[in-house]
Structure 1
Amino acid sequence: MELRHLRYFLAVAEQRSFTRAAEKVGIGQPPLSMQIKALEEEVGGALFLRSSQGVELSEVGRVLLPHAQRAVDQAEQALRAARQAASGETGLLRMGFTSSAVFHPLVSHALQQFRERHRKLEISLSEGITEQLLADIAASQLDAAFVRIVTTPSAALGVVELPAEKLKVALPRSHPLARRKSLRLQDLASENFIMVPRGKGSALYDSIFSACQAAGFDPQVIQLAPQLTSAINLVASGLGISIVPEAIEQVQLAQVRYVEIVEPAPRAQLSLAYHRQSIAASRFAAHLQRSLRRAG
């Protein structure tokens, strides 16, 4: 028994006419009659009682009718669900992010808009370091992640780069340099640095070290913090200073002041890495690219 046989049967039962049913399903009457006959042979009994006034369901047909209707309805529901999944409208998007990515205004805005436009799509969020997030995407344990590294796109991995962020100096508000409107990196040569360990964010760590070395000194790292927000809390306690992405300035503490770095200021790169075979991730990547074009 094929699904089309049930659809033809339902059409004849509704129209009570082979002619009108054939018009409804878009085939000729002779082929429709042959399909119904084939269904009757498979069932083992007549489905319709024919008369000069049309056709009516037989006892066998009345028994088949509700089952046929449920089968057709379920098939249509399955098709709609599959089409929504194929278009990325439903399913699950497993999204990872580094600790500082959530503070980037474009990230939060893009995620919020995407949620509003894809309410049937479930989005799960998990935090991690860049290296682990990329490994999870490669292992198909994540669909996409915001990471602080410039990764070369490949057949399996797609990348959408966000505009590079300026880095700023976070200082205790009581620090003499906190009164300045801007600072040169050279001004920080004798300062005690608080940084996130390289293993927690190698791209940002290397960017800061390289910029300081280009300015003629190696940062004196006296304290490591598990993440950037923790570094800001340590700055507030007066342990030292830190260089952080501009977005971290959203972490406002009374004891901390953020100061611009004189150009050429170092930059921090944030990118969306995503698995190209993930429909939901590819759809989000396209959404993010449109958001970036509008932000211009």
Structure 2
Amino acid sequence: MKPKDFRSLRYFVTVAEERNFRRAAQKLGISQPPLSQQIMLLEKEYGEQLFIRHARDVELTDAGRALLSGARTILDLADDARRQIDRAVRGEAGTVTIGFTPGISFHPVVPAVVRLWRRELPAVELTLRQAPTDELCAGLRSGADDIVLIRPPIQEPPALTIRALQEEEMVVALPPDHRLLSAPSIGIADLADDDFVLWPRHLAPGLYDSIIQRCVEAGFTPRIRVEAPEKATAIAFVAAGLGVSLAPVSLRQIHPDKVAFRPVAGRPFLTSIALGTRRGERDPLVIRFVELTRHLAA
């Protein structure tokens, strides 16, 4: 028969280690009669005598020795399960899926977040997934993603909460033979006659629309010669001489010897990175992630 709870096993192990009911009771913080009663109930449960009682101490019977090893294993497993539960409740253990858009992986915030989690919460298993913005928002709603890193503005669905983390400067990316290479900064209007390299709008609709709007405000509609499958590839196409582009400054590490990156002249052109979660999220692990990530970004 199995004991009804772990308390009786813990009492049994303590008596076995102390070899004395009085010392065991003191160690457990209870009086001796209830301890003796629990051991007798345990012996009745198993149908075997577990201790030989002497005047001053006790010794294990064969049945007691057989139980001791298993009891210690059971208690260790129970304690480990308790610790895992406590960590999960505190948001310190479990699995979390983080989605991010193409291009954001080049920003320092992504590797910094991963390093922070590995250092602060080693028991958390991170799953990283790259996908377009619309797919990530759908993934949040469906539960495929727990947290997403995206570039707003987006049309925020009622079921989601979007929190801004950091702003990032947009820069002009020029091919190696461009006429404006010597300019320290470049106005958007100066690019009116150039072919543009961008990416499909659904990858980052907010950023895409911001670029188009800034061009329209400068008096022209950009002539998009080619759409790259992602922002990083767009920079590669600029390096190949297919046109100019506007990109977050974190992408300047791509082909730095073949692409010239220049600040945007005039009014600052900024994009931002935001963190998205489900509205009313209660998962302690996700809440813990949001707290740590916002603290890191600040």
> What is the TM-score of this pair, normalised by structure 2?
0.90
- The offset of 1:150, in angstroms, is 4.1
1:107-146 per-residue CA deviation (whole Å, 9 max, x = no partner) reads 3223223223333332222211011112112211122221
Select the residue among 134, 137, 156 that pairs with 1:134. 137
* Aligned-partner Cα distance in 2 for 1:15–1:207: 74
Return closer, same or farther for 1:281/1:11 CA change in 2, 3 Å cut-off.
Answer: same
State the alpha-carbon separation in 2 of the partners of residues 53 and 29 from structure 1: 14
The corresponding residue for 2:199 is 196
Quick one: distance in 2 between partners of 1:128 and 1:228?
12
- Tell me if the contact between 1:236 and 1:253 (Cα under 8 Å) persists in the aligned partners: no
Distance in 2, matches of 1:154 and 1:174, equals 44
Match of 2:246 in 1: 243
1:64 aligns with 2:67: yes
CA contact (8 A) 2:236 2:255 kept: no
Aligned to 1:287: 292
> What secondary structure sits across from 1:270 in the alignment?
strand
Within-5 A mapping of 1:210-225: 210-225=213-228
Task: Report the identity percentage.
Answer: 35
2:246 partner amino acid: I
State the match for 1:144 in structure 2. 147
RMSD between superposed Cα atoms in Å: 2.2
Residues 98-109 of structure 1 aligned to structure 2 (within 5 Å): 98-109=101-112
Where does 1:139-288 land on structure 2 (aligned, <5 Å)? 139-150=142-153, 157-275=160-278, 276-288=281-293
Question: C-alpha displacement at 1:153, in angstroms?
Answer: 8.3
The one-letter amino acid of 1:73's match is D
Q: Name the CA distance, whole Å, in 2 between partners of 1:155 and 1:207.
A: 23
* 1:69 to 1:112, Cα distance in 2 relative to 1, 3 A: closer
Shift of the alpha carbon at 1:151?
6.0
Query: Secondary structure, in 3 states, of the residue corresponding to 1:193?
Result: strand
The whole-number CA distance in structure 2 between the counterparts of 1:98 and 1:177 is: 30
| Matched residue type, 2:291 | A
- The residue number in structure 2 matching 1:124 is 127
TM-score (norm 1): 0.91
Q: 1:55 aligns with which of 54, 58, 61?
A: 58
Report the counterpart of residue 77 of structure 2 in structure 1.
74
Unaligned runs of 5+ in 2: none
Change beyond 3 A, Cα 1:87–1:215? same
| Deviation of 1:245 (Å) | 0.9
